[in-house]
Amino acid sequence: MHHPLTRAILPTLLLVAAHCLYSVRAQETDPGSARELAARLSASAQDGASSVRVRIEIRGSEGGPKSLLQLQIKARRSKTATEVVCQVIWPKERRGESFLLRSVEGGAPSGAYFIPPDSVRSIDAAQMKEAVFGSDLSYADFLENFFAWEKQSIVGTETVDRVACQVLESRPGEGDHSIYGRVLSWIDPKRLVPLRVEKYFEVGQLARRIETRRVAEDDTDRKVAASLAVRSRGQDSVTELDGSKSRHDVSLSDADFTIEALRAPATQRSNAK
């Protein structure tokens, strides 16, 4: 049985643990190598139609309350467009709570948030930095593929968990819409998996850090981040994610990425009663 967090959300996550040694070299390596590495990671993210179940645990400060959610995430990703639907399937009292996100090349991202039985609000580009389900993740983290940004450079190397990683810096170009101004990724070049990611706002402030806790194989036998930990700036909380039941043999249509699709689970429950 596979237990990965599929590439559908892999490009948007990963962090730097404070206790690890930072040894990035100041000089930049061949820009061509950076573009090649980013292109390979971007191609892995643009994996067509996919579905994955994700367990999210959100913990506050030590000894504080925690919350658990199980999510069903469906996505279609290509070079020109990304669509994501994320629905709560547990606990029962939040089942059906969901959001839809869409991004088309050259355009600003948009979406909608649904709370059963019939509450719908729009999500615009300015709201992409808002927290998802009270976690340390934003809407942008589910949607953006920063490996596809125009500006890519390798800024050094660092050993992470005894793995020699290349540190890739990604910056958006004029045609790239993002809430972030810079992203640093610590890439395992053999497994082609980011072991850490730091995301910075345009003003230079660190927005969130993500680290890979476990690497596994997905249903296509590719190495992916199977377990992640996310911390956002200024918060005592930590969000841990574990993926399971990832599939890339799914058939998704335009109808799966509509407001009506968000309403469907609640309608089905109502009819069952």
Torsion angle (degrees, nearest 10) of CA 205, 208, 209, 215: -150
**Structure-token pair, residue 22:** 């930072």
CA distance 61 to 224: 29
Give, as one character, the DSSP assignment of residue 177: -
What is the per-residue pLDDT for 25?
35
Residue 6 predicted with pLDDT over 80: no
Instruction: Please list the alpha-helical segments (H only) found in 144-209.
Output: none
Query: Over pLDDT 90: what percentage of the chain?
Result: 69
What is the per-residue pLDDT for 156?
95
Pick 198 or 220 by higher pLDDT. Answer: 198
CA distance 187 to 35: 13
**Which stretches does DSSP call E strand in the chain?**
48-59, 66-77, 81-90, 98-104, 110-115, 119-123, 151-160, 163-171, 180-188, 193-201, 206-217, 223-232, 238-247
| Complete DSSP assignment for 86-120 | EEEEESGGGTT-EEEEEEETTS--EEEEEETTTEE
Torsion angle (degrees, nearest 10) of CA 80, 137, 121, 250: 50
- Tens-digit pLDDT profile for residues 64-120: 788 999 999 999 999 999 999 999 999 999 999 999 999 998 899 999 999 999 999
What is the per-residue pLDDT for 20?
28
Taking residues 221-243, report their average pLDDT.
Answer: 91
CA distance 97 to 52: 17
**CA-to-CA separations, 72 to 5, 51, 52, 195, 265, in angstroms, rounded:** 11, 7, 6, 24, 12
- Does the model's pTM come out above 0.75? yes
Give, as one character, the DSSP assignment of residue 21: P
Q: Does domain 10-272 have CATH number 2.50.20.10?
A: yes
Taking residues 116-131, report their average pLDDT.
Answer: 96
CA distance 34 to 168: 7
Lowest mean pLDDT among 54-58, 85-89, 104-108, 229-233: 104-108
- Tens-digit pLDDT profile for residues 146-197: 999 999 999 999 999 999 999 999 999 998 999 999 999 999 999 999 999 9
CA distance 138 to 239: 12
CA distance 224 to 7: 7
